[in-house]
Structure formats: C-alpha cells, structure tokens
Structure 1
Amino acid sequence: MVAGAAGFADTVRLDAAAWDRTGVLPATVVTDAGAAGLLARDLPRRYGGADASPAAIGEATARIGAVCSSLRALLTVQGMVSAALGRWGSAEQRERWLPALATGAAVAGFAATEESAGTELAAVATSIEPSGDALRITGRKRWVTFGATADLLLVIGRLDGAPAAVLVEGDRPGLRREPVRGQLGLRAAQVAHLDLDGVRVPRSHLVAPAGFGLSHVAGTALDHGRYTVAWGCVGLARACQRAATAHAVERVQGAVRLADHQLVRATLGRGHVAVTAAEQLCRHAAQVRAVRDPDAVAATVLAKYAASRAATRVSRDAVQVHGAAGCDPDSLVGRFLRDATVMRIIEGSDEVSELHLADHAIRAHRRSGAAAPARPGPVAVPS
C-alpha cells in the first residue's frame, strides 16, 4: 500500500499546484485514488478494503500529504466516515455504502461543525425529528470538507434531545450547498457550508441509537481523522524540509552557498529535529492503535498536536530559506505553509489538544497510585 501511494503521488505531483489554484480536485482523481487502493484501506476485504495496518495507513497518507493536502484530506474524510460506519453502522448501511467509499464511487463528507459549535460538538443545534416513517433534519453546517461534492454526508445533530448521527445522501431535496472559495488552505478540498432545510431520510439512516452520536459515532470518525491528519502533516513537513535543504545547498549568493551560513544550517537542524520527533510520535500512535491499547486515543492526539506544529514550523522556515521564491503562489513551500496553518486547527486545535493531553496525564497519575509529594519542612537559614 505504501509503495502504491508513493507511485500515485508521483503521478499527480505536477498537478497539485493547479488544483490549489483552481480550487477543484478533479473527479477522475477520486476514482483513480480508489483504483490505486488508497481510500478506506483499513476496512475489511469484504467491503473493498485491505485490512491495512495503522502503520501502513499512516505511511501511505504521509506520501500523499507530501504532494497535496487536499488529496490527503480526501483520504482523511473517506476514512473518517468509513471508520464510523464500519464500527457503528447497521449491516444494511455497511453493505450499501462501504464498498462505494472504498472505491471512490461515492465521496463522503462529515458534517459536524456549526456556527456556535466548533470544537464543542456537544453544542450542535441541528435537529433530527421523527416524521412518520422518516427523519426530518434541519440545521446549518459549516466548513464541511468535500461538502460541495459529497455523495454521502454523516450529519451530527440532536434527536429527542440526545446527540445523534444520521446519513444524508447528497441529492436529497432540501440540501443546499454553499461552496467556500479562497480559504487559507486546503483550497482544492471543495469545502462548503451546508443548509439542511427539512431534509427527509428513512429512519434506517440513523447510525447507532440516539445518545451515541457524539461519544461513539463522531468520536470514532474524529479519532481516525486526527490520525491521518497527523501522518499527512509528517509528509508535508518532510517535503518542506527536503525542499529547504535542496535550495540551501544549491543556492549561491555572493559566492557563498546558503547552506554555508550558520543561521541557515541551524534552521535546517531544527527542522530535522521537528520532523523526526513528529514521525516517531506518529509511529508510536500506529503501534498502540494496532493492539487497541486504551491509550491509543491520547497517543493519536499527541501525534497530531506535534505533527501539525512541526509542519507549521518547518514550512515557515522553508519559505524563509527560499526567500522571494517561497512566496510564489505555486511554490510548494508557500502552499504547504498555508495548509499547515489549517492543520493546527482541524480535528482539534492546539488548545483543545493541550487540555485533552493534560487530562490524560492527570488520569494516568491517579491510576498509578503515586504518593503525593511530602510537604517540605522548614528550611534552615544560616545565621
């Protein structure tokens, strides 16, 4: 799978800047990615997946992330919705949708964020109301990746006062899409705001019972999303570090190579440390996810936190090393600096991640039964 991802990345490398400039990821690329075995590959083989390991999923995502963040976002959202349906969907839902998501015949969207419910998804106001033999959905969702083209949306709302998740096909009457243009990063990920005005779907489209929509369905999707975002950031940072190093070695100013300036060499050294550390944390997350360790969620949050910060730092320094060339609209390092900034926010901002990690550390301390430190006694002061 990793070799296939690297080969696919090479075939689209020269197109990524144009996708970013036009704000469109061609539909043929989606089906080509499916044919190359890149979408939802951790699904069971019966649904078109490959039972791929977390490590293989991560490394493959990094290869794509080193070329195009919007294409990586496709892998992320397909995986998020597939993971949620694979774990919590009904047999009918899995049989109908998972093969299509795995091949790219259907594009997924995860519709959770609202104007007053960004990272606090418990505050979503979208209503899911019983209406005869159907469910009626009303609300407005914002910043939905591939929301402009999605064939299947996993919508988070409230049913009978409890968080719920429901599947909505993209051609349902009452669904309106408002494409977002010129956003800071992920410009080809066809982000959109969505209005659901009394959209009706069968009751069988409910994913898990009401009350499980946030902690179970959305939780599974977001965990998968953080993991692939983390690895995508590693790929992005690797690419920027390589580009900065190559430019510093080849660029000569005043008969002196950039790489011979101590400050430039120090910058490259810091980038190497940041990329290596982020990569190791992602590998650790892969290991604990593979054995379903209870700490896997926290390890994934940590990996995403470190990798997104590394991507921001390394891409910023790469632009500095390139100088004016890094400011070209089609420059890889300039494009990736914009994308990396978005990665600091998506699937859990720095601040939210820090609180989660602090809570994990406190719980781990309490579980360890560590004794409280002794109160210090009086300190003798020399006379």
Structure 2
Amino acid sequence: MTYAVEPVGPPDAVKFAATVRGEAGNWDRAGTLPEPVREAVARAGLFGVGLPERYGGSGGGPAELGEVCAEIGGVCSALRGLLTVQEMVAAALLRWGTAAQREQWLPQLARGHRFAAFAATEAGAGTDLAGVETRIDEDGDDLVVTGRKRWITFGGTADVFLVLGRAAGRPAAVLVEGDLTGVRREPVEGQLGMRAAEIAHVDFDGVRVPRDHLVGPPGTGLTHVVGTALDHGRYTVAWGCVGMAEAGLDAAADHAVNRLQRGVPLAEHQLVRAQLARAAVQTRAARELCARAGRLRRQGDPSAVAETVVAKYAAAGAATAVGSTAVQTLGAAGIAPDSLAGRFFRDAKVMELIEGSPFVSELHIGDRLLRRHGFCPPSGERARAVIQEGPQ
C-alpha cells in the first residue's frame, strides 16, 4: 500500500493519522512497520517536530510535539514508539552532543534518513540503569563497545544506537552504527504489546567506533545524556497514552450507543454510563497533566522534569484503565483479533512499565512531596531520584 502524505506547512499529524489508521492492526499482526510507512512519516515531517529548523526540524515546542504523539498514539503505539526513540536520541544529541555530532546526525534523524534506537536496558539493569555492565574501552583512536542490551525498541532495524555503558568505570553514552562488525540482533516476537515495534535484544561484541562518537564526557552518560533522553521519552509516551485513552474511549462510547440487546442500546444501562464517565474523567485528567508538563517545559521551569513523571504516570494509568473499560464494554468484539480496544489494552500495559514503572514513579512523586516537608529519602534510594529527575 502507498501512503501518499506530503508535508503542507507545519507537520500535519491529523492528516497522516487518517491515512494510516486502517492499517495499524495489520502492522501489529505482522510484527513490523512497513518501509513505506516510515517514508510517509518522514515526508509528513513528523520526525523533526521538536528539532530546530536549522537541523531539518519544524521548530515545534512541547505542545506541538505532544499533540503529534497523541494523534499517532491514537492510531498505533508502535508507530508512536518510532517517533519516541527518534526524538529521545535527537534530544540527547541536541543538548549534549558536540557541534559536529549535531550537524552530522540531527538532520538525518529529522528527515528519516536514519532511524535511531536507545540501548540502555540490560538483564541486570532495567529500572536501575546505574547497574549497566556494557564496557566502552579506549583503544588508540577508537572506542570498543562490548555488552548485551535487552528489549530495545526498534532494535531490530535501527541504523544507529545510543548506547549506555561504562568507560573507565564511569557512566558514558556512545553512538554505534547498526551495520558495524560485532553488532548482532535477536528479534523478540509475541510480546504482550508494541508488537510492531521491532523490539530486539542487541549484542555489541567488541564493536569499534571512532572516539568522536562519545556523547558528552565520561561520567555524564547517565545523569545527563541518558537522563535527557529518558525525560523526553516519558513526555512523548505520556502524550501517546492520552491518544490511546481518547481513541479507546471513543470506541467504547460508539459501541455503547449502537450495540443493541433486545432492542435496547447498551448506553441505556446506568452501569455502562458510569463506567464510561469514569473513563472520560481519567482521560481528561491525563490530558490536562500532560498539557501542564508541556507548559512547564516550554518555560524552562525546574519542576518540568518531575511534572513530566507525574504526567506519564497518570496518562499510562489512564490508558490502561480506559483500555480495560473499552474491552469490557465491547465484550466479544473487544477481544477479537482486529479489535483496536484489545490492541490498545495490551499496548497500554507496556506503557505503564517503560520509562519508569508505576512503583518507581510513585516513590519519586512521594519523595518529592515529602522533601518539601523536610523528609530525606534513605541514602540507598538517592540514585533512583537522580535517574528519574535527570539534569535540571
């Protein structure tokens, strides 16, 4: 299928979403995003929404980026995931990369000429990324990257990875092209959700890259480079969850009005209306929290990072709860192979776990509240706060 979407003025996510909406279920079943879809996203200008125009982006702010992610999230979480990882790597390079790195990589990412992946998670380092064991060793003019990364979104097809490792015992981040000798990919299939996100485990077996692929000095790889990427990822995931919740709510409400039982619409049952009302409030609250986080980010407010954690926590929870309500309302239609509600229900649970699980987010939010009243978290928990808050 050809997706004929051309950019007209600012990136138009609404027009693009309408073009591909009917195909998302097929991508989920196939476990991949077809190349023509990626090309259409690039033509529509959606990869560079948050990047300055000088790097091929559209110069949009947090509000514009959020609405794009919500629109795409309401169609396909895997497609929104492609935008997220592209934005995560671009955001890290924009803030912490050298001038040469920005000039080389950002236009390629903004135009979809290359696709990026964020390689941080390991078997023993998921929530606590301070525990990564991937090595970044010096060898003359090169760096040698050795380690195994797990659950990498679009790790199966990425052209370049932003890899978190350790250089001389200190956290460091490095760019590694996917076609280099020593890069091996192990596709993950049949996972709960995000099935079209081409998730893979990736081995880096003595991969040699130039020293200038190091992003930021050693010691800043986690709190600065990766911290920026994760913060950006949380924000886009949060808005994607808003889109999922809104689409799921619309599907449930439409079914409730049009599904008849003994000649009576489901909507005439008070319990159904009450369920939908709760879902509507959760969805609206999530949108407002995301909008608040966006305003703070635009203003450069120091609390923006923490408020983004709040927004992602609320939005992912709303998407999961609304997904459950939608499936319940649709009944058998909600668990059918082609059910949008069922697909979003699976995807939403994944959204709760990535970019900060609910439990970690709750601890972070609670600690932040209590610190204002003089409470200091136990010393063993300070690393979590650093990872969650990132650089100010």
Q: Residues 50 and 60 of structure 2 are in contact (CA less than 8 Å); yes or no, is this contact kept in structure 1?
A: yes
Match among 30, 41, 62 for residue 38 of structure 2: 30
The reply to whether residue 144 of structure 1 matches residue 152 of structure 2 is yes
Pairwise CA distance, 1:2: 7.9
Q: Using the alignment, how far apart are the partners of 1:2 and 1:308 within structure 2? A: 28
* Structure 1 counterpart of 2:348, one-letter code: A
Q: Using the alignment, how far apart are the partners of 1:139 and 1:318 within structure 2? A: 41
Q: Using the alignment, how far apart are the partners of 2:285 and 2:341 within structure 1? A: 20
The reply to whether residue 201 of structure 1 matches residue 204 of structure 2 is no
> Structure 1: 5+ residue runs without aligned partners?
368-383
> Structure 2: 5+ residue runs without aligned partners?
1-8, 376-392
* Structure 2 counterpart of 1:255, one-letter code: G
Match among 269, 278, 285 for residue 270 of structure 1: 278
Q: What's 1:292 paired with?
A: 300
Q: Structure 2 vs 1, CA of residues 3 and 92 (structure 1 numbering), >3 Å: closer, same or farther?
A: closer
Q: Residues 318 and 333 of structure 1 are in contact (CA less than 8 Å); yes or no, is this contact kept in structure 2?
A: yes
The reply to whether residue 313 of structure 1 matches residue 321 of structure 2 is yes
Q: Residues 144 and 209 of structure 2 are in contact (CA less than 8 Å); yes or no, is this contact kept in structure 1?
A: yes
Q: What's 2:370 paired with?
A: 362
Q: Using the alignment, how far apart are the partners of 1:349 and 1:277 within structure 2? A: 19
Give the count of matched residue pairs: 367
Q: Residues 31 and 103 of structure 1 are in contact (CA less than 8 Å); yes or no, is this contact kept in structure 2?
A: no
11-20 or 23-32: which moved more? 23-32
Q: What's 1:379 paired with?
A: none
Pairwise CA distance, 1:122: 0.3
The reply to whether residue 231 of structure 1 matches residue 245 of structure 2 is no
* Structure 2 counterpart of 1:262, one-letter code: Q
Q: What's 2:248 paired with?
A: 240
Q: What's 1:134 paired with?
A: 142
Q: Using the alignment, how far apart are the partners of 1:198 and 1:168 within structure 2? A: 11
Q: Using the alignment, how far apart are the partners of 2:37 and 2:184 within structure 1? A: 25
| Residue deviations 1:292-333 (CA, integer Å, cap 9, x gap) | 100001110000000000000001110010000111111000
TM-score by length of 1: 0.94
Q: Using the alignment, how far apart are the partners of 2:182 and 2:288 within structure 1? A: 46
Rg larger in structure:
1
Pairwise CA distance, 1:28: 1.9
Q: Residues 137 and 198 of structure 1 are in contact (CA less than 8 Å); yes or no, is this contact kept in structure 2?
A: yes
Pairwise CA distance, 1:42: 1.2
Match among 53, 72, 79 for residue 64 of structure 1: 72
Q: What's 1:255 paired with?
A: 263
Instruction: List aligned pairs for 1:1-383, cutoff 5 A.
Output: 4-366=12-374
Q: What's 2:6 paired with?
A: none
Alignment partner of 2:33: what SS? coil
Pairwise CA distance, 1:3: 6.9
Q: Structure 2 vs 1, CA of residues 289 and 137 (structure 1 numbering), >3 Å: closer, same or farther?
A: same
Q: Residues 2 and 56 of structure 1 are in contact (CA less than 8 Å); yes or no, is this contact kept in structure 2?
A: no
Alignment partner of 1:114: what SS? coil
Q: Using the alignment, how far apart are the partners of 1:289 and 1:363 within structure 2? A: 22
Q: Using the alignment, how far apart are the partners of 2:287 and 2:372 within structure 1? A: 24
Q: Using the alignment, how far apart are the partners of 1:171 and 1:240 within structure 2? A: 39
Q: Using the alignment, how far apart are the partners of 2:155 and 2:76 within structure 1? A: 18
TM-score by length of 2: 0.92
Alignment partner of 1:365: what SS? coil
Q: Using the alignment, how far apart are the partners of 1:40 and 1:49 within structure 2? A: 4
Q: What's 2:379 paired with?
A: none
CA RMSD, Structure 1 to Structure 2 (Å): 1.1
Pairwise CA distance, 1:6: 0.7
Alignment partner of 1:344: what SS? helix
Alignment partner of 2:206: what SS? strand
* Structure 2 counterpart of 1:165, one-letter code: A
